[in-house]
């Protein structure tokens, strides 16, 4: 597990936005991963996608790393943000915009507003 932890730590710290997910951003393989990747893609966020289905050590390792039992898991500038429910709530409340602004992550504000409009 040490190798997985080291690999995860390096990935999280060397990329501005990382999504550990089932599948890829182009082809998610679960509804929760699809929702988070869809939000990030729609908002034009550049992010690294890590398919946990391709490596069992990473799949378990990310749960141990974050002490969070589910996937997907979103990291921004090395900080664990949360899973699908948390990212969804943050998107609708505008907290995700604030986080991206504070961390200097580029995104499409109009797209974020459209998501909120569609969910109000």
pLDDT digits (tens, 9 = 90+) for 69-97: 999 999 999 999 999 999 999 999 999 99
pLDDT value for 120: 84
Q: At 64, list the tokens.
A: 């141990």
Beta strands in 1-120 (DSSP E): 17-21, 48-51, 73-76, 79-82
Phi/psi at 58 (5° precision): -70, -40
- Return phi, psi of residue 70, to 5°: -120, 165
Q: In the CATH scheme, what is the code of domain 2-118? A: 3.40.30.10
pLDDT value at position 74?
Answer: 98
Known binding-site residue numbers for [2Fe-2S] cluster: 30
The rounded distance, in Å, linking the Cα atoms of 13 and 79 is: 9
> Which residues carry a binding-site annotation?
30
The tokens for 30 are: 């679960």
| H/E run at residue 18 | strand 17-21
pLDDT at position 2 = 65
Torsion of CA 108, 114, 29, 50, to 10 degrees: 20
Express each pLDDT in 44-73 by its tens digit.
Answer: 999 999 999 999 999 999 999 999 999 999
């Amino acid at each position: 597990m040490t190798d997985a932890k080291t690999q995860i730590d390096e990935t999280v710290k060397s990329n501005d936005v990382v999504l550990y997910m089932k599948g890829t951003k182009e082809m998610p393989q679960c509804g929760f991963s699809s929702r988070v990747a869809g939000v990030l893609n729609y908002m034009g966020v550049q992010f690294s996608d890590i398919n946990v289905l391709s490596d069992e050590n990473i799949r378990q390792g990310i749960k141990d790393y974050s002490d969070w039992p589910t996937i997907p898991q979103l990291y921004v500038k090395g900080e664990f943000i949360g899973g699908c429910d948390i990212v969804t709530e943050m998107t609708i409340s505008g907290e995700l915009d604030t986080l991206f602004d504070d961390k200097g992550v580029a995104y499409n504000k109009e797209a974020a507003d459209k998501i909120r409009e569609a969910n109000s």
